[in-house]
Structure 1
Amino acid sequence: MNRSKILAKAKTWFPFYIFMLPGIAYLLINNYLPMLGLYMAFTKVNLVDGIFSGEFLGLQNFKFLTMSSDFPLIIRNTLVYNLIFLILNPIVGIALAFFMNELGSKKILKCFQTSLLLPSLLSIQIITYIVYAFLCIDTGIMNKTILPTLGLDPVKWYTTPEVWPALLIFVHFWMRSGFSSVVYFSSMLSISPEYYEVAELDSASKAKQFWYITLPLLKPTIITLMIISLGAIFKSDFGLFYQVPLGNGALYKTTQTIDTYVFRGLTGSGNLGYSAAAGFLQSVIGFVTVILANWVIRRISPDDAIF
């Protein structure tokens, strides 16, 4: 290829490279540059002399996760919540997407989509205040309006750990189901209407159309989102499990996860190596889980594997 052709191609693609620069810069700064901090997971961090001048400790920082007597509880909470989210996410997302697909009015559809996506656009601080407005013992909507209407006694929400698993699951889906439902809805729109027309000619009900047409054609999207979710199987939403319950110690039994435990340990000891070790371990387990899940899917259904 001569020089003139190379220059012509470079001139053609130059604007696209310029548009790529902000995304590449963000990826390098936000995703790759912090990876240098993985060194802290194996050292006693010394911020005065620099993060790379600390004493090398090997795997000693990783023992921090197992030092607590509540370690089994922490692992149980983290895994159980994530498994519940993993199972219910596609069910809730597909149900909402199917409902949107059945709405006839575009204006109603837009309003419904906006109401679903709005919580995911709010900061966790605002979410915390909204939840507190409902659950406040003295002035909350639940204790002052809803429970008295149902003839029930007020509940001390922030000192009653038994109610928080259901509350956390509800708040999670209120915040996060909007995105997944839009993804499933866009996948439903890509399904050819001819399938449904033929099914209607065969007198197939809506339920049968959903079960034999919609659901099978959504399988690639379901598998992709589930594999991505498996990457965070050993992580938890810090805002959901710490800020929403207001960091209340009385709720540790049902709100303590790996991320909240590491945060409390970090604020108590000030050792950044603990946090780095926990983050590194979570990433490794998530990576291995994704690889294994993709390997299993490739063995069962090669066309649905991500890589």
Structure 2
Amino acid sequence: MSSFFKSLNRDKVLLLMALPGTLWFLIFSYLPMFGTVIAFKDFKIHRDGFFASVLNSKWVGFENFKFLFSTEDAFIITRNTILYNMALIFLGLVLAVAIAITLNELVNKRMAKVYQTAMFMPYFLSWVIISFFTFSFLSVDKGVLNQLITSFGGDPVAWYADKRFWPYILIFMGIWKSIGYSSVVYLAAIAGIDKSYYEAAMIDGASKWQQIKFVTLPLLKPLMVILTILAIGGIFRSDFGLFYQIPRDSGVIYSVTNVIDTYIYRSMSQTGNLGMSTAAGLYQSVVGFVLVMVTNYIVKKINKENAIF
């Protein structure tokens, strides 16, 4: 016991630094896990508060989970969620690494910081604001794109009523908003690479492309794999703001814009069934956990050093 208190006193500065993050996870991630029991109950509000509501609600087992799988739209929303996330993960990875390498190779470092800041700014904008910007481009009568089309003699396009364009629009907007933040992570990793590797490559006569191919990318590979594994864990979750705010809740294009999260929100706003919503969230979390474990296992079999654990 004395050794425990000695180590506690020795590491008190580090423990104090970790305390805010620990409290955040405890309050917002671990304590709310008690609420997952709602997924198995017919939740009814009780006058004595939340805990009384949970305890007095009827146990219904897996009845709430049938909501996601019994609907006619189950296949569509699952397909959209998986395909959109796969596209965002793959394109986000490739473009983030490419932009990070490009910024690192710029000779004018002051301009590189300007470009980095310009790409990073959209990350701080809410989807509500971005939806208005998008509408200013896609509006049928006053939109910038339609004005350009009509100026060249074409007919205006009803963007919010034509589902053909929306997979590309949503993927583009998702990448545009997040690419700046993702590239900063890889740019920081590149900055931490020992310069002696590049010096040795230049002595061997390696070109700039060969330095990137045989030095930068191999050293970035562990980070790329770890971030991809974590992203795969969220493949059944979607950026709610992207899929709800950008299409402006246009029912005509639901078949290509509706994902699990938006479908749950629209359904719950109509039925008010909190048990079904909790069941859907628990389902997404469990599937995400399984995907992380399976992906990590596969990576571990290929290269143990690149696995998360």
TM-score normalised by structure 2 residue count? 0.92
Structure 1 residue 94 displacement after superposition: 0.7
The residue correspondences of 1:176-215 to structure 2 (distance < 5 A) are 176-215=178-217
The residue correspondences of 1:84-163 to structure 2 (distance < 5 A) are 84-144=87-147, 146-148=148-150, 152-163=154-165
Deviates more, 1:129-138 or 1:47-56: 47-56
Kept after mapping to 2: 8 A contact 1:128/1:243: yes
2:176 to 171, 174, 179: 174
Asked if 1:70 corresponds to 2:68, the answer is no
For 2:243, the equivalent position in structure 1 comes to 241
Asked if 1:82 corresponds to 2:91, the answer is no
Asked if 1:32 corresponds to 2:30, the answer is yes
1:45 to 38, 43, 46: 43
Deviates more, 1:51-60 or 1:265-274: 51-60
Question: How big is the alpha-carbon RMSD for the aligned residues of Structure 1 and Structure 2?
Answer: 2.0
1:272 to 267, 271, 274: 274
Give, as a single letter, the amino acid of the residue that structure 2 aligns with 1:207: W
Structure 2 CA distance for partners of 1:67 and 1:118, relative to 1, 3 Å: same
> How far apart, CA to CA, are the structure 2 residues paired with 1:104 and 1:47?
62
Structure 2 CA distance for partners of 1:13 and 1:58, relative to 1, 3 Å: same
> How far apart, CA to CA, are the structure 2 residues paired with 1:6 and 1:164?
59
Q: Secondary structure at the match of 1:51?
A: helix
Structure 2 CA distance for partners of 1:34 and 1:139, relative to 1, 3 Å: same
Kept after mapping to 2: 8 A contact 1:42/1:56: yes
Kept after mapping to 2: 8 A contact 1:161/1:251: yes
For 2:225, the equivalent position in structure 1 comes to 223
Q: Percent identity?
A: 40
> How far apart, CA to CA, are the structure 2 residues paired with 1:152 and 1:205?
47
Structure 1 residue 149 displacement after superposition: 5.3
Q: Which runs of 5+ in 1 are unaligned?
A: none
Q: Which runs of 5+ in 2 are unaligned?
A: 48-52
Deviates more, 1:152-161 or 1:264-273: 152-161
Structure 2 CA distance for partners of 1:148 and 1:191, relative to 1, 3 Å: farther
> How far apart, CA to CA, are the structure 2 residues paired with 1:168 and 1:102?
30
How many residue pairs get aligned? The number is 304
TM-score normalised by structure 1 residue count? 0.92
Q: Secondary structure at the match of 2:55?
A: coil
Structure 2 CA distance for partners of 1:39 and 1:171, relative to 1, 3 Å: same
> How far apart, CA to CA, are the structure 2 residues paired with 1:305 and 1:40?
34
Kept after mapping to 2: 8 A contact 1:40/1:52: no
For 1:256, the equivalent position in structure 2 comes to 258
Give, as a single letter, the amino acid of the residue that structure 2 aligns with 1:214: T
> How far apart, CA to CA, are the structure 1 residues paired with 2:185 and 2:109?
18
For 2:50, the equivalent position in structure 1 comes to none
Deviates more, 1:63-72 or 1:192-201: 192-201
